[in-house]
Each structure stands twice: as C-alpha cells, then as structure tokens.
Chains A and B, each alone.
Chain A
C-alpha cells in the first residue's frame, strides 16, 4: 500500500533545475534512501515532499495519512525541555492527548529519563532522537529525514537505525537522504539516486551494477552515467 507518491516533480532556481521531472512511490513499512552527490537535489526533493517547498510543477500525494518531517539539523528548541518540545508540536499538530502522546513518544525515543532536561543539555544523538520524536508526534504514515545520521558517532548512529528500523517494522514508510554508502546498503530496501536534479536510479541497492560493495558500485554507476549523459558535473 503506497504511503507517499511524488509525481513529475520540478523545481527551478533561476532556470537551473534543482529537480527535473522526478517521480517515485514509497510503500508502507518500506525504507527508501535518497543518494547522490552534493547539490544533487536531495534536500530539495525531501522538503518538497514534506510540503515546505512548493514544486514548480508536479504533485505530492499522501494516500496513507500524515507525513512526519525531520530537517537536516536537529531542529528542536534548545531552551525548551524534551517534554516541552514534544508537547508544543503535539499541540500544533492538534493531537488529542498532548501529555499522553508526549509521554509515549519519550519512551519510544528512549528519552523518558531526560524529560525535564533542556534540549541544549542533551548529546547530539539524543537531540536527533528528540527531533525524530517531534516529527513522529502526530503518528504519520511516512517519515522524511534529511541526513539523519550526519552528525552522530557510530554508536549513536546504530541506535538511530534501530529506532528507524522499528518504525519501519511498525508499518511507517521511511525516506532518508544520506551520503553513507554503508547506510544505503545496510538500512534501505530501495535507493533513489539523484544527480543534477535528475532521477538516475530507483531500485534495490544490490542491483545498481558491478562493484565489490555498494560504495564502489555507486561510484562506478555515477561515472558511467556522467560519461553517457552530460549532467554538467557537480551541480554545485
């Protein structure tokens, strides 16, 4: 059952296409990675799917229900406590049981013991989990995360993937952007590869092509495509 559909999405900044007719579907419980070099259009795509940016043309459908959004940086109010952050977004999302859902969410993101600590006093990993909790507070059918693991140490990263894995297991569609080949290989059911705003690949990471492991295969893939199609090099 699809939870997110992007159809023919286009975004231009001064004639330069940041996103060039991109379409894809995310199923419930599926974990989709968005990969591609710097300036490929990953953030543009995610924020468009999230409804932060409006597409120049194309449409976004949410057949499964609400969407949760976790921006690139840990987007939390540093001066508010863990509970206050969650409760504020529960209110803004018009959740019925504000206190209860904040409490349940703190259990889920394993921050119940830091409920009354300010976000600024948390570790980077904890803050990222809080940020995810704020994106999850309205029980979305699909969760979008922009480079969720970028600032985390390996242990915190592992903990993050445990959380995201359990979310996918519970039927939530997960879409995340990443620069880590290991994460695509280890945690994504599917990978979407963007370059210069164009969708170059949409399929299982293992099927991308020749290479001893995903990272090499990914590089080979990009080189081959850039030789064929003149994408104009690094779009930045």
Chain B
C-alpha cells in the first residue's frame, strides 16, 4: 500500500513536470465540452426582432361586432416567440436590420385596427429582413411565418367568438350592434314558437306558407347549432395534445453525460496507457518488478492515477455545465460515483492498452484508435443501422466501458434509468482489464 502511494506521488510529480501534456489533457475535454454543449446542450437563442407599433397608445382597442379587443394582447405572441423590442419608426427598424442588430423588423401599421374592424379586408403587417444570405433569409422567413401563426390563431379564436355570438343571437335572439345602432332581435327559436302561436288565427290558405316558414326556422336553428361546432373547429383545426412516451429525460442530461464520458475517457485512456508505457520505456518496469512493486501494485497504481485525473476533469465539467444547463445537484450521490467508476474503468482500459504497447507513442496512438471508433459505436442509436450490425455493436459496446459509463452517468444525472447494472458491468470490466494488463506486463518482461 505504501509503495503504491510512493509510485502515485512519483507519477503526479512527473505529470506536474510535463505541463504540455497536462495542458493538453485539460484543454481537450474543455474543447469537447464546448462542442457538445453547443451541439445539443443549449437551445438556440431567440432571434431579435425590432417591432414598430404605429398605432397610437389610445387607439389600440379593436371593436368587432361590439366586442373590444386589446391590440397589445394580440401582439403579445409577437414579443414572446422572438426577442422582440420596440423601435420608434420604420426608418429606425430598417437601420436595426441593416446593422444586423435585429434579424428582422415588423411594422404594425397605424390603420391595422381599421383593417381588422372592417369586415372586408385582411390586416396587413410589414416585415423587413436582409435577403442577401439565402440560408439566413430562409430562417428569418420561417421565424416571421411562425410569428404570424400564433397571432393569426389568436385572431381566429376571437373572430370565431364574435361569429358565435352572432349565430347565438340569430338563433336565440338578443341585442346586436350594427352601424352604430343597437337593436333587439327575436331569435329563430322564438320566431318558430311565435308562428306556431299565431297559426290558428291565420286564414287557411296562408297557413301553409307560414307552416313552411316555421319549418324553415327550425331548420335554420339546427343549422346554426351545427355551424357553431363547425366554427369551433375552424378556430383551431388541429389541436396538438402532447403525449410523451418513454423515460422523461432532458436532452441536456444526455449532453452532459456524453461530454463527461468522452472527456473522462480520453484523459484516463491516454494517461493510463501513456504512463504505463512510460514505465516500460526506460526499462523502469524491470527495476520495479524486481520485488519492489508487484505487477498488481503497478496496474492498480496506474489505474488510480488515470482514474483520479479523469475524475477531476469529469467533476469540473459537470460543475461547469451547471452554469448552462440544469444539473440535479441532489442526485450527486449517484452521478459522482458514476464519474468515479467510469473514470476508473477508462483508466483500467488505458493501462491495458499501455501494457500491450511497448512505448508511449504506440500507446497514445492505440488509445485514440480504440477510443474514437468505440465512442462512435456507443452513440449509434437503435434503428440507425441494421439489426444484425446493431447486435454486433452491442457486443462491442459491452466490452468497452464507454456505453456502460454513459448509461451509468445518465442514470445519475436524471431519474428513470437503471444505475445498478451499468455499475456492475463496469466493475466486471475493471477487474478484467486489470487482469489482462497484469498478464500483458508479465508477457512483456518474461
């Protein structure tokens, strides 16, 4: 045990005196973290849109069919879906777009209220955007269309409400405002009853016409009721009901798990392989193995060394990710052990690679050549390849620690995943790697 400590201290000192390697080992995971973070971690920020509202403050009430709507409420969606901000006039809006401060500008014309109130014309708003860059243009166009979808939905709902009110009045009667004049109207339902009441007093030959009219009124009433439900559907043709199935895990927890696993893997793999190969390079191994440190001590020491360094990197990464995505700190009792076990498993894998390669260069090259494709193999989703190939990948993934580490980390970071089996799996792998490494060292000096 003491000798293990001496060797560990010696290796820490060696690392401290090889700053380039340490910097590389620290930079590499940082780079990976940033890339993964950019790729899947943070949702894209909302586009900035300059908004000119030319409707005076005191004229933002829209009256449709006697109902009052607040224009500001209608345009709320406009501000929420994008990072919307007010500018004073179209010239300023144009300036914002030209300078690139805003991806687009939306101008709400002064007469939008009249346009909406009139029963004959559609409301028009104007959008300004830079069309020089075609990809950007497509993106901005989609953004603006998306904006109007929400606003239009809102308006459709309100128009539908007004129409429904009208139909209601036609069927059941009530007050109606038309051309500034309010009138009381008898509904179709009342009309039919009224006709039935007066029918006995009407001369026989006119009675038939009236009876027909009463039937017509009844039909109109039913038609109106049908129109109501139809209109409701027009207001919201398809209602999306979200029904998530499977484990509820956020994308960000996967991103964090991948980033941590990838960087811990490279740090531990490279260090484990490199440091063990380094002992062989100057024949130090033959010195140590002469009863000074048995093979098992050397294998465990190098595994711990690589594991500790990877653990530090992995932990720092989770802490750093905490600034961008939600980390479940209360689950640290699970994700921290997951980082520890994963780091040690990568370390053991590295030591095995180092024991099999003769020198540091071969060991580092082997680490990369093994690490990269196996990481890729672990990230292939089911269904992306044929069933046969997927089974092969599963076998490969089960003998390399990346997949179980990823599973363990995910289980730690978000609930709903099994942590026990990946943990046991990794423990088995660690043991196997250490035994193989020890055997490889024996072969090497035999």
Contact = CB atoms under 8 A, between A and B. Distances in A.
Interface of A: 47, 50-54, 67, 69, 71-80, 84, 88-89, 91-93, 118, 134-135
A75 B287 contact: yes
Among A47, A51, A75, A118, residue most surrounded by chain B Cβ atoms (within 10 Å): A75
Interface string B259-293: 00000000000000000000000111011111111
11 contacts: A54-B446, A69-B286, A72-B283, A77-B284, A84-B10, A88-B6, A91-B3, A92-B7, A92-B292, A92-B293, A118-B17
Contacts of A52: 286, 289-290, 445
A75 B446 contact: no
B6 A91 contact: yes
A92 B282 contact: no
Contacts, number: 62
A76 B6 CA distance: 15
Given A53-B445, A91-B6, A76 B282 contact: yes
Contact of B3 (A53, A72, A92): A92
A54 B289 CA distance: 11
B286 A71 contact: yes
Interface size class of B (residues with CB under 8 A): 20 to 34
Contacts of A47: 286, 445
Nearest to A50: B290
Contacts of B290: 50-52, 67, 69
Nearest to B289: A52
A185 B429 CA distance: 55
B204 to A, nearest CB: 122
B284 A75 contact: yes
A52 B14 CA distance: 24
Interface of B: 2-3, 6-7, 10, 13-14, 17-18, 282-284, 286-293, 445-446
Contacts of B288: 92
Given A53-B445, A54-B446, A92-B6, A77 B286 contact: no
B328 to A, nearest CB: 41
A116 B10 CA distance: 15
Nearest to B446: A53
Contacts of A50: 286, 290
A88 B284 CA distance: 12
B282 A88 contact: no
B422 to A, nearest CB: 37
Contacts of B3: 91-92
B13 A84 contact: yes
Contacts of A78: 282
A93 B292 CA distance: 6
B195 to A, nearest CB: 108
Contacts of B14: 77, 79-80
A88 B445 contact: no
A54 B443 CA distance: 11
A75 B18 contact: no
A81 to B, nearest CB: 10
A92 B290 CA distance: 11
A75 B286 contact: yes
A73 B13 contact: no
A73 B283 contact: yes
Contacts of B282: 73-78
B296 to A, nearest CB: 15
Contacts of A118: 17
Nearest to A43: B286
A71 B446 contact: no
A79 to B, nearest CB: 4
Nearest to B281: A73
